[in-house]
């Protein structure tokens, strides 16, 4: 029979609201974290990154928060727009490896009008 695929957590928000996407990482030695956005049929696209010596970084409409104590990362999107609908992945650097990335499973964000 057909294999069961990975069920992505889904976050549904209304246009104009703020979105918060969460991610837990496992490697306490990771020193670099990135958020990627992937639209259907496309490759992942860089959104924002943060190093472990920071706990917050802001970009255009996006903010990443890093809590190293509980190994938690979040992405905040302000005034969410329909074009923000996509799958969002957090990724951590894989040790001293040229920043080869270890990706999380992803969260699907659906923005409704």
Partner 1 sequence: DAGVIQSPRHEVTEMGQEVTLRCKPISGHDYLFWYRQTMMRGLELLIYFNNNVPIDDSGMPEDRFSAKMPNASFSTLKIQPSEPRDSAVYFCASRSIQYNEQFFGPGTRLTVL
The residue from 32, 52, 63, 72 that contacts partner 1 (CB under 8 A) is: 32
User: What whole-number distance in Å separates Cα of residue 47 and Cα of residue 57?
Assistant: 12
- Closest alpha carbon to 72 in 99, 59, 90, 97: 90
Stretch that binds partner 1, among 11-19, 20-28, 29-37, 77-85 (CB under 8 A): 29-37
Build a one-symbol-per-residue string for 83-112: x at contacts with partner 1 by CB under 8 A, - elsewhere: ------x----x--xxxxxxxxxx------
Taking CB under 8 A as the rule, does residue 35 contact partner 1? Answer: no
Q: If phi over 0 gives left and psi between -120 and 50 gives alpha, with beta otherwise, what is residue 69? A: alpha
User: What whole-number distance in Å separates Cα of residue 16 and Cα of residue 60?
Assistant: 15
Stretch that binds partner 1, among 14-22, 41-49, 58-66, 68-76 (CB under 8 A): 41-49
CA angle 40, 42, 48 (to 5 degrees): 100
CB nearer to partner 1: pick between 27 and 46: 46
The residue from 1, 42, 60, 70 that contacts partner 1 (CB under 8 A) is: 42
């Amino acid at each position: 029979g057909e294999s069961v695929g990975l069920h992505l957590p889904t976050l549904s928000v209304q246009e104009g609201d703020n979105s918060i996407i969460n991610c837990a990482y496992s490697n306490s030695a990771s020193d670099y974290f990135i958020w990627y956005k992937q639209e259907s049929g496309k490759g992942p696209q860089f959104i924002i990154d943060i190093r472990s010596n920071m706990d917050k970084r802001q970009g255009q409409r996006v903010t990443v928060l890093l809590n190293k104590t509980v190994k938690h990362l979040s992405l905040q999107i302000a005034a969410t727009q329909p074009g923000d609908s996509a799958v969002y992945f957090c990724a951590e650097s894989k040790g001293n490896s040229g920043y080869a990335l270890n990706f999380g499973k992803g969260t699907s964000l659906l923005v409704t009008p």
